[in-house]
Amino acid sequence: MIRAGIVGGTGYTGVELLRLLAKHEGVELKAITSRGDAGTRVSDMFPSLRGRVDMEFVSPSAEALANCDVVFFATPNGIAMKEARALLDAGIRVIDLAADFRIRDVAVWEKWYGMQHASPELLDDAVYGLPEVNRDRIAKAKLVANPGCYPTAVQLGFLPLVEAGLIDVDHLIADAKSGVSGAGKKAEIGFLFSESSDNFKAYGVAGHRHLPEIRQGLSIAAKREVGLTFVPHLTPLIRGIHATLYARLTKDADLQQLFEIRYREEPFVDVMPSGSHPETRSVRGANVCRIAVHKPQGSDTVVVLSVIDNLVKGAAGQAVQNMNIMFGLPEASGIDIVPILP
Amino acid sequence: MIRAGIVGGTGYTGVELLRLLAKHEGVELKAITSRGDAGTRVSDMFPSLRGRVDMEFVSPSAEALANCDVVFFATPNGIAMKEARALLDAGIRVIDLAADFRIRDVAVWEKWYGMQHASPELLDDAVYGLPEVNRDRIAKAKLVANPGCYPTAVQLGFLPLVEAGLIDVDHLIADAKSGVSGAGKKAEIGFLFSESSDNFKAYGVAGHRHLPEIRQGLSIAAKREVGLTFVPHLTPLIRGIHATLYARLTKDADLQQLFEIRYREEPFVDVMPSGSHPETRSVRGANVCRIAVHKPQGSDTVVVLSVIDNLVKGAAGQAVQNMNIMFGLPEASGIDIVPILP
Amino acid sequence: MIRAGIVGGTGYTGVELLRLLAKHEGVELKAITSRGDAGTRVSDMFPSLRGRVDMEFVSPSAEALANCDVVFFATPNGIAMKEARALLDAGIRVIDLAADFRIRDVAVWEKWYGMQHASPELLDDAVYGLPEVNRDRIAKAKLVANPGCYPTAVQLGFLPLVEAGLIDVDHLIADAKSGVSGAGKKAEIGFLFSESSDNFKAYGVAGHRHLPEIRQGLSIAAKREVGLTFVPHLTPLIRGIHATLYARLTKDADLQQLFEIRYREEPFVDVMPSGSHPETRSVRGANVCRIAVHKPQGSDTVVVLSVIDNLVKGAAGQAVQNMNIMFGLPEASGIDIVPILP
Amino acid sequence: MIRAGIVGGTGYTGVELLRLLAKHEGVELKAITSRGDAGTRVSDMFPSLRGRVDMEFVSPSAEALANCDVVFFATPNGIAMKEARALLDAGIRVIDLAADFRIRDVAVWEKWYGMQHASPELLDDAVYGLPEVNRDRIAKAKLVANPGCYPTAVQLGFLPLVEAGLIDVDHLIADAKSGVSGAGKKAEIGFLFSESSDNFKAYGVAGHRHLPEIRQGLSIAAKREVGLTFVPHLTPLIRGIHATLYARLTKDADLQQLFEIRYREEPFVDVMPSGSHPETRSVRGANVCRIAVHKPQGSDTVVVLSVIDNLVKGAAGQAVQNMNIMFGLPEASGIDIVPILP
């Protein structure tokens, strides 16, 4: 029985971790911390967990987490980098759902995240937790940087093409649309129902923090620096990311076959039949990325459609998948959920 | 292993049954019929079931269902009443998710449903599948009439008060709000996104088919005919029913305690603490009815708030619960799902 | 040309006032104040007003508003009561869209609003701005208390019955549902898209501030104290209130005719044909209250359905209607808008 | 007073025309036809028009429209091409909101629309009704082909760049997102609330009918054949199109200035300040296209964001704008509406 702790369990990735871990047969939840809500019963904050999670939030502290085998950070950026070291030294494995350990180049990280990195020395040991790329390294990792939601959808969509060297990697375009839960449980005007319902907009066109993360992953796959235009949009869904990816083909190939072979062994990537249009609701609540590849009108532009649930394969589900890999559990434990539709 | 069949698996209660049964460890799904979509792969119609349900819809026929222990009718009203007899004669148990066997008085049924009943002789043996009322009879039933969605939410909210004889049962008021999936997967203008999004309306104020069903259940509990004003509303949710119930108190009592005691042993009814406001999303995807009871401003009017997911506790989940009871399986098998929030 | 000012123009009632006044041919907008956003261009905060409102928010001050004939307070509760006196003394008429002057009994107000009233001496002169009740007094008023959104929908629905003495006024029930914009433009978790989309809940069942306001209005109409159970609900619309009203009939009458006669001369109340179900979207963006009256199943319970756009007839539109009446303009000036559907 | 008729007034472009024309001071509405709903009062079908449009739908016939100066076709594709000739011969001007006269090459039209064109001889006289390109020709036109919704947003976004010869026109990418009302008021499963709410998907990637229309317009502007990848998506809004456009810059230029100059005189195109992200709701209900141009991360890829209300500037509003131009009315008559926000 893996003993797990969660730091910062009051946000959306936190409650999603709780939903998944509450039914994970190989995991015992030992502690959930919250600086602001210590003493509150988890099920008072999240009535959906009544009868499921019989715990209180506790103050973050070393003792609270001392008996854990693994600790998930479901915190804002900048927390895990301060607290991971002590846990790792105590032999506790760490999975950070925030961005602290995603970027290998500390200067790039500091520029995009606007703060000094508190533990750059950990970056070398941190493994980027995209199982479809790094499964073997994740299995041995002490510290996993769980990928961002956009980066998961965009990388899984582009990887087969980039790895096969079939496209012009200097001019990749990722037009991505996210549900509002991707913004987290933050009391900001822009994410009010009255502001974001019945509305659609792009944001962060000048530069979004997920841009360097995607670029890093694709550059590793391409074995050279790639060029990427990344435009995120806010769409009135609660959950779901739809990435529409565009690239210029430089070689001919059977793209459908390429994708099917690349992900043949992957339990959580579903390459749909030729001509498909994956819907975000087809993965709602589930740890799946569904992908379709198109070459419209016989042009030399390839279009890849990639959908995930941003809170599952884009966050908490992928974190549990990483935990399963790290501890040698069946990879689908606790995340073998059928999507909820309608 | 219970062998199950589904008649009419292409609607919302059908796909919800599939979602639940696909993960039910005690059930093997043998056949799913569809008159119009025979030959179509289930996962082509519902991509959410890719990798989960590896079957095709087959034409409805006796043979298709011959090897089943239980058959669910997820059909429009008027189908099960024609086909149940043959299945029952073959020793197959039947759970009808439509309304054919819900009303004991055939004249009342025929008036409200506008057709002649094809097998009134089965009504005496049919058991109304509200486990919180009829668990023992369901356990022995061959034919279960699964309750309607509104009737489930409204009856569970009123029952403790009616059974205890605390309220004026001549003037019950049920103001109920339903998500749009309650209307089924029917191509009608009124249920288009552009019609029912960002809109709220009452409907069927003059008389809704769930009125006699609720009245029947509450009259049995009251041991006399009750009077009920039932106003359903359409609200822009996919899933969820919120029933707001009003009654005049005729005696004094500790209402909170009354509800807690009534449902103390019920695995799928959650009486919330005094002062609570249950949200529909707190039961999204789960087989739970959450209830709160209020006596606002010290008046003699009691207000009960009752929420369910109309497709789960209001349809497919309750049907699986009934199947579990009928076959002596643990009552929570396959429906022990944590609600999805946000 | 009426010179108008707006205090607190950054919220939803503020921007709605701007939308209406920008096209009002008898009004010249002189100043819009905002404590926090002085110096910001109105059209930078509300791009919908680009090319329509060419002004900046200015700091609230006496001078800013000195040249106005009328000042609208689109502020939180508790502001207008402090600032109205000075404006009135300067001969400027005041319309408060908040609650400061709605309740005649200062003790009741202070209990429900949790603060001391800063200018109770103004309450006697303040006119409750429901034109369908107080048109003549509004015409002469210096200070108008614009009604709340729920109170507008509920009172207009109940008034014909109460005035005619046809119902048991000790046990009125108002089950009201509001879109999320009714909560204002406040950065609170509960009104985030991810919290209030695809969700339905009651709130404030124990007691909502609009309860005493509604009770006051209906008591005046009944010429005695009425008893009211008022249950507000939050529904995933941006705009719209749907009030479903229940009362016990004590006398027989032609209810349809009663309503039609009561509102025959009212430009902004639409009594729909018998059997109708008004939809909130049928008044979206418009200053209309649509009402239908039902007597379902021949019982003695009357059901009234009443819908408004909470930001128009429930706030800014009614405020402009009051202004028109106060200044002798055609009552429909600036608010003669066709609802937007779909 | 222009006498106007509408053929096929029961869909969303029809009711939107009615909303606009009901308040147009220079237009008298003479007839609205509907094959299926003749005899129905307009305000019974659309309660939003109660008190605004006091007419019945009439059967389509020559007499019904004989007294009109202009007739709008708000019909499915393939109707106007059969009926326009007779109206034109009678001296009545025609504005087709469907696609019958949009494509100059009849073979292309027949391929994409899957039917034989009934009056190809009219194509030469038909003027494509994008005022920002063809204002002078529209002023003299007898027959105007009102542009499609996507083509309006995409062309207005690309035109300044294409006309200035600044981009690689062989590889244009238009990633467009539409609200559900763009699909019309058709009873199809895919557009049900329960299907398209809380969901996001691409569709028609292999080829959408608006592709040849956009390609034609941009090719005229480029004075050569352009290459375009066009991916439409369905997003859970009622109204709104957001086009995100990508192109490779081949020359350097001040893009902000380029757009501002191009649209300086245009009453219904709003070039937003540098760095802006136009929101669909900022044009809700209004005849405006708002555009922002970006060059993210200093790359050679230009990103244009273009939003419209698909039913207004993308359909009925633009049709009225065209009518105003054709009849020498002030161009903003009847469409000078402030967007509704929130």
Q: What is the 3-state secondary structure (H, E, C) of A213-265?
A: HHHHHHHHHHCCCCCEEEEEEECCCCCCEEEEEEEEECCCCCHHHHHHHHCCC
pLDDT (tens digit per residue) in C236-282: 999 999 999 999 999 999 999 999 999 999 999 999 999 999 999 99
Rounded Cα distance, B213 and B110, in Å: 13
Shortest CA distance to A37 belongs to which of A65, A58, A61?
A58
Checking if the pLDDT of D62 tops 80, the result is no
Number of domain units in chain A? 2
Considering the domain architecture, whether residues A26 and A106 belong to the same structural domain is answered as: yes
Where does a domain end: A125, A140, A157? A125
Binary contact (D229, A246; C-beta < 8 A): yes
Question: How much is the pLDDT for A161?
Answer: 98
pLDDT per position as a tens digit, C119-137: 999 999 999 999 999 999 9
Indicate if B115 and B156 belong to the same structural domain: no
What are the residue ranges of helices labelled H in chain C? 12-21, 42-45, 62-65, 80-89, 106-113, 131-140, 149-163, 193-196, 210-222, 255-262, 316-326
In a domain, C237, yes or no: yes
- pLDDT grade for D9, boundaries at 50, 70 and 90: confident
Interface test with A, best of C40, C178, C193, C284 (most A CBs within 10 A): C193
Structure tokens at A175: 């037009």
Q: Are residues C118 and C237 in the same domain?
A: no
Instruction: Give which of C289, C288, D182, D27 is closest to D19, Cα–Cα.
Output: D27
Compute the distance between CA of residue B95 and CA of residue B74 in angstroms, rounded to an integer: 9
Write down the pLDDT at residue C314: 98
Partners of C205 on chain B (C-beta within 8 Å) are 277, 294, 296, 303, 305
Taking contacts as CB-CB distances below 8 angstroms, the residues of chain B near C235 are 177, 200, 235-236
Collect all residues of chain C within an 8 Å Cβ-Cβ radius of residue D184: none
Tell me the two tokens of residue C264: 């025959």
Q: Does residue D136 fall inside a structural domain? A: no
The reply to whether D182 and D305 lie within a common domain is yes
On whether both D120 and D154 belong to a single domain, the answer is no
B-chain residues near C237 (CB < 8 A) = 198-200, 236
- Cite the active site residues of C: 149
D216 to chain C, closest Cα gap in Å? 31
The yes-or-no verdict on residue B221 having pLDDT over 90 is yes
- Interface touch B282/A50, C-beta < 8 Å: yes
pLDDT digits (tens, 9 = 90+) for A323-334: 999 999 999 999
The residue assigned the tokens 């969820």 is: B240
pLDDT classification of A61: cutoffs 50, 70, 90? confident
Q: Taking 90 as the threshold, does the pLDDT of residue D134 lie above it?
A: yes
- Write out the two tokens for D207: 């080829």
Does residue A140 sit within a domain? no
Residues 6 or more apart in contact with residue C44 via CB below 8 angstroms: none
Q: Is the pLDDT of residue A41 over 80?
A: yes
Q: Kindly tell me if the per-residue pLDDT of B62 is higher than 80.
A: no
**Best to test chain B binding among D10, D15, D193, D280 (most B CBs inside 10 Å):** D193
Q: How far apart are CA B322 and CA B328, in angstroms?
A: 10
Given a contact cutoff of 8 angstroms between Cβ atoms, the answer to whether B308 and B241 are in contact is yes
Residue type (1 letter), A280: T
Q: Can you give the pLDDT at residue D311?
A: 98
Integer Cα distance of B108 and A35 in angstroms = 59
Give the mean pLDDT of C303-316: 98
Of D180, D194, D198, the CB nearest to B194: D180
Structure confidence at residue B68 (pLDDT): 97
User: Residue C338 falls within a domain, yes or no?
Assistant: no
Task: Report the length, in residues, of chain B.
Answer: 342
Q: What is the pLDDT of residues D83-127, one digit of tens each?
A: 999 999 999 999 999 999 999 999 999 999 999 999 999 999 999
Q: What percent of chain D has pLDDT over 70?
A: 100
Domain of residue C76, residue span: 2-146+315-326
Beta-ladder partners of D231: D175
Q: Tell me, what's the pLDDT at D63?
A: 86
> Are C181 and C273 contained in the same domain?
yes
The CA distance from B199 to C235, in Å, is 9
The stretch A143-163 carries a mean pLDDT of: 98
* One domain, residues B165 and B100: no
Of all residues in chain B, the one with the smallest CA distance to A47 is B282
Picking from D58, D93, D125, the residue at the C-terminal end of a domain is D125
Please compute the mean of the pLDDT values over residues A78-84 and round it to a whole number.
Answer: 97
Asked if C281's CB is within 8 angstroms of D342's CB, the reply is no
Interface test with A, best of D192, D193, D203, D205 (most A CBs within 10 A): D205
How many Cβ pairs closer than 8 A exist between chain B and D?
62
C243 in the same domain as C304: yes
Rounded to whole angstroms, how far apart are CA atoms B199 and C128? 29
Do A190 and A295 lie in a common domain? yes
Mean pLDDT score across all residues of chain C: 97
Note whether D173 contacts A301, CB cutoff 8 Å.
Answer: yes
Mean per-residue pLDDT for B230-257? 98
Contacts of D336 (CB under 8 A, 6+ apart): C23
Which chains lie within 8 Å of chain B at 3 or more CB pairs, if any? A, C, D
Residue A91, pLDDT score: 97
Q: For residue A161, which of A231, A263, A282 has the smallest C-alpha distance?
A: A263
Would you tell me how many other CB atoms lie within 10 Å of the CB of residue B251? 8
Residues of A carrying an active site annotation: 149
Q: What is the pLDDT of residue B280?
A: 98
State how far the Cα of A324 lies from the Cα of A25, in Å rounded to an integer: 11
When CB atoms are compared, the residue of A278, A282, A340 closest to B340 is A340
Q: How confident is the model at residue C96 (pLDDT cuts 50, 70, 90)?
A: very high
Q: Give the DSSP letter of residue A339.
A: P
Burial of C167 (0-12, 13-18, 19+ CB in 10 A): buried
Whether C61 has a pLDDT exceeding 90, the answer reads no
Query: In angstroms, what separates the C-alpha of A133 from chain D's closest C-alpha?
Result: 26
Residue B110 corresponds to which tokens in the numbers above? 């025929």
Evaluate if residue A62 carries a pLDDT over 90.
no
The yes-or-no verdict on residue A232 having pLDDT over 90 is yes
Helix (H) or strand (E) holding B31: strand B27-33
For residue A275, the one-letter residue type is: G
Do residues A181 and A279 both lie within one domain? yes
Q: What is the pLDDT of residues D175-207, one digit of tens each?
A: 999 999 999 999 999 999 999 999 999 999 999
Residue in A with minimal Cα distance to C239: A194
- d(CA D226, CA B315) in angstroms, rounded, equals 54
Among D48, D272, D284, beta carbon nearest to C339: D48
Who's near C64: CB < 8 A, 6+ residues apart? C5, C31, C33, C58
pLDDT digits (tens, 9 = 90+) for C140-196: 999 999 999 999 999 999 999 999 999 999 999 999 999 999 999 999 999 999 999
Q: Is the peptide bond before C236 cis (omega within 30 degrees of 0)?
A: no
The Cα of B110 is separated from the nearest Cα of chain A by a number of Å equal to 31
Same domain, C80 and C102: yes
Evaluate whether residue C335 is within a structural domain: no
Cβ–Cβ under 8 Å, residues C236 and B236:
yes
Whether residue A93 has pLDDT greater than 90: yes
Over residues A195-218, mean pLDDT: 98
Mean pLDDT confidence for D238-254:
97
Task: Read off the CATH number of the domain in which B230 is found.
Answer: 3.30.360.10
Q: How far apart are the C-alpha atoms of B101 and B120, rounded to whole Å? A: 9
Contact, C270 vs C288, CB < 8 A? yes
Residues D158 and D297 grouped into a single domain: yes
Q: What is the CATH number of the domain that holds A106?
A: 3.40.50.720
Mean pLDDT computed over D139-164: 98
The residue among C250, C222, C235, C111 whose CA lies nearest residue C175 is C235
- Chain D's closest residue to A248, CA to CA, is D171
Assess if residue B316 is contained within a domain.
Answer: no
In what side-by-side order are the strands of the sheet with C289-294? C201-202, C228-234, C172-178, C241-248, C301-308, C289-294, C269-271
At C63 the pLDDT is: 85
In this structure, what token pair is assigned to residue C1? 């040309």
Q: Is residue D328 part of a domain?
A: no
For the four alpha carbons of A77, A83, A89 and A91, in that order, the dihedral sign comes to: negative
CA B106 from centroid of its chain's CA atoms:
20
Contact B47 A22 (CB under 8 A): no
Contacts of A162 (CB under 8 A, 6+ apart): A169, A218, A221, A222, A226
Does residue B9 carry a pLDDT above 90? no
- pLDDT for residue B61 is more than 90: no
Per residue in A263-314, pLDDT (tens digit) is 999 999 999 999 999 999 999 999 999 999 999 998 999 999 999 999 999 9
Does a structural domain hold residue B227?
Answer: yes
Please check whether residue A250 is in contact with residue A301, taking contact to mean a CB–CB distance below 8 angstroms.
Answer: no
The H-or-E segment that residue B96 falls in is: strand B93-96
Model pLDDT, residue C62: 77
Q: pLDDT for C40-50, tens place per residue?
A: 999 999 999 99
| C-beta atoms of C177 and B173 within 8 A | no
